[in-house]
Structure 1
């Protein structure tokens, strides 16, 4: 299908929306991105971009730009929460480059890249409702106006207005997990460039460096019966953060003593959308397949979506065939990733000391005797190249 001259509107100027905007504009589409925030500012914290998403950045012509803003990771290290001792080291380098990057730097890079190919990014546009009653999607804005758009891509995250229009009201399930996120200044080289996962009873903490090793990203998750609101932007109490992880030893304890600001939010399990498309409208990213953060694949799935959607639209004979192709390719893989992330929550939080001891001993033995066994289990994830699937 020839996309030159077509007009597509994208809801959301996050990683999903900006990457699909560039991918479409590179194929001749006139793209407008609508973002509710008044400007694209520094929000969020660290994210991990694995090789399966790196192939998309390469195809988008952004490999060099991404290397400049990210830290190259050596892989992941599973560590004991009390002593910080290594339980299992996962050398994932055989799959390609893993990049540790601040979300704001990633969004800034993608925004520049989108504008470079003619994408219009309109900020301060808050959509209150999407109507799919007719052939043409209609956007109702909070200022009381409406807009008709030829084709709509919903990259508007967990509270997607397009998903609500497609599927109706949904109620996510609270997982019983609460997440904490903080950033700390670092001396370059202070923390090795890899994801450090400290595993404790009913909780774990992930740490890795950002911005040339000058910043440390901390994410702690613990199980609790207390319900906490969903969303990333709830200020938390650093003293409570320290109390929740008070049984963790070095180096976590030292890091937590330096925390001055922390964000906290509840983790909710959302279903992968049973239907991703409607008349001249389609979902992508978190709007289609929200995931728990235990496999570091949220941003990676969004990048994969962006390439596949743009490629299907440019190669299929009709728009309906393209959307069916996109959903057929993406839905099974995204369900597998979401399920694997959910399983990781259980693996990190073994509450029984005897069970945890046996499990950690088994991992240590496995790492020494068969060092390639655990990395090989991720081949389906990290070796996947969506630029070769359409």
Structure 2
């Protein structure tokens, strides 16, 4: 089976690897001139790492990753610890796979080392046919494939081609993000944990990546005027400092260490009813973009990739296999979208009775959602769902 994967990010590369293992002839087309290092840190929960392990790349990922010891929630003004959930060996024992932090560029490099990628190939349209599909590129080039997988992100050209125009929704949240060399924060009480500091109208996340050499920092604020969804737009350090004035001194020190923060508007979508047409389908942010507040965007794309490959391995009738893939993935991804959307409110409560109830609930449940076993324990290796 000839497969064209449009998009050389995490989801596209994992899909290509899984589909190759299923016996497909896969080509990956990436519009950027080189396999990119844009982006910053991502969290890979056990539902993602068990798939990377099955695909044989987890040892290489471990070499560039950090295994956090715990997931922490802290208060905004004094840094008080509200809850701490053990990760490290505890996550491995509970779910049979590790919890890791990794720089997106490091993960893409690991995947691109085993999956060939054609760069500089900008898809401008896809035309599904009865038996195959055309992928049309800038400059007039056309390729045909038995299956086209759109892994080209929230502004997907492939999705537009098969489902029509559908703008993503701006959430009113903006993230400032950046990477700080570990040596610059050596004097601060910043451990190898995944830490979320929650405050009125904003929250602050930090964790180490790149084998501990860099600290990834994400600072989320509520703002309605910045609507650019880009990983490369520069933010104003003075604006960021003002947004977190009065917060815990550790937060203010980390903000001061961000010399050139990037500014990124956050978008999501309500679930689509379907995301395939004929021999064309979507995965990851192309069909179910979600806010980063569940740390599951990359993980859900990785799950998509594995399930898609399994469905095609079991059924060489492509439209039927794609229908099965959608059935297996739709409700789960919609639920993860909703969990992430709920955290947008939960993390930003103003001080008062609701915030006190939230903090009490966090303390009594070790911080993480009651859905966490459902989320991290998902094992498509044991079947397709």
TM-score normalised by the chain length of structure 1: 0.91
Matches for 1:44-63 after TM superposition, within 5 Å: 44-63=39-58
Other-structure match for 1:106: 107
Unaligned ranges ≥5, structure 1: 1-5, 115-119
C-alpha separation between the residues in 2 aligned to 1:195 and 1:42? 22
SS in structure 2 of the partner of residue 289 of structure 1 = coil
Assess if the C-alpha contact under 8 Å between 1:154 and 1:284 holds in 2. Answer: yes
TM-fit CA distance, 1:238: 1.4
Other-structure match for 2:63: 68
C-alpha separation between the residues in 1 aligned to 2:157 and 2:368? 40
Other-structure match for 2:199: 200
C-alpha separation between the residues in 2 aligned to 1:374 and 1:269? 22
TM-fit CA distance, 1:167: 1.1
TM-fit CA distance, 1:247: 2.2
Query: CA RMSD, aligned part only?
Result: 1.8
Other-structure match for 2:143: 147
C-alpha separation between the residues in 2 aligned to 1:302 and 1:358? 33
Assess if the C-alpha contact under 8 Å between 2:203 and 2:220 holds in 1. Answer: yes
TM-fit CA distance, 1:105: 0.4
**How many residues were matched structurally?**
375
Assess if the C-alpha contact under 8 Å between 1:17 and 1:33 holds in 2. Answer: yes
C-alpha separation between the residues in 2 aligned to 1:362 and 1:109? 39
Q: Is it true that 1:164 corresponds to 2:160 in the alignment?
A: yes
SS in structure 2 of the partner of residue 72 of structure 1 = coil
Unaligned ranges ≥5, structure 2: none
C-alpha spacing 1:228/1:374, structure 2 compared with 1 (3 Å):
closer
TM-fit CA distance, 1:328: 0.7
C-alpha separation between the residues in 2 aligned to 1:112 and 1:185? 25
Other-structure match for 1:278: 277
Assess if the C-alpha contact under 8 Å between 1:74 and 1:98 holds in 2. Answer: no
TM-fit CA distance, 1:280: 1.1
C-alpha separation between the residues in 2 aligned to 1:18 and 1:71? 21
Other-structure match for 2:288: 289
C-alpha separation between the residues in 2 aligned to 1:252 and 1:73? 19
Matches for 1:77-226 after TM superposition, within 5 Å: 77-92=72-87, 93=91, 94-95=94-95, 96-114=97-115, 120-132=116-128, 135-187=131-183, 191-226=190-225
Matches for 1:240-279 after TM superposition, within 5 Å: 240-279=239-278
SS in structure 1 of the partner of residue 249 of structure 2 = coil
Other-structure match for 1:7: 2
Assess if the C-alpha contact under 8 Å between 1:313 and 1:319 holds in 2. Answer: yes
C-alpha separation between the residues in 2 aligned to 1:212 and 1:36? 29
Assess if the C-alpha contact under 8 Å between 2:122 and 2:138 holds in 1. Answer: yes
Assess if the C-alpha contact under 8 Å between 1:73 and 1:97 holds in 2. Answer: no
Other-structure match for 2:377: 383
Mean Cα displacement is larger for which, 241-250 or 88-97? 88-97
C-alpha separation between the residues in 2 aligned to 1:331 and 1:19? 19
TM-fit CA distance, 1:223: 1.1
C-alpha spacing 1:374/1:123, structure 2 compared with 1 (3 Å):
closer
Assess if the C-alpha contact under 8 Å between 1:71 and 1:99 holds in 2. Answer: yes
Other-structure match for 2:19: 24
TM-fit CA distance, 1:127: 1.3
For residues 120-155 of structure 1, what are the alpha-carbon distances to aligned partners after superposition, in whole Å with 9 as ceiling and x for unaligned?
A: 421101112222365432223222333333321111
Assess if the C-alpha contact under 8 Å between 1:91 and 1:375 holds in 2. Answer: no
TM-fit CA distance, 1:375: 6.1
TM-score normalised by the chain length of structure 2: 0.92
C-alpha separation between the residues in 2 aligned to 1:68 and 1:105? 10
C-alpha separation between the residues in 2 aligned to 1:284 and 1:325? 14
SS in structure 1 of the partner of residue 171 of structure 2 = strand
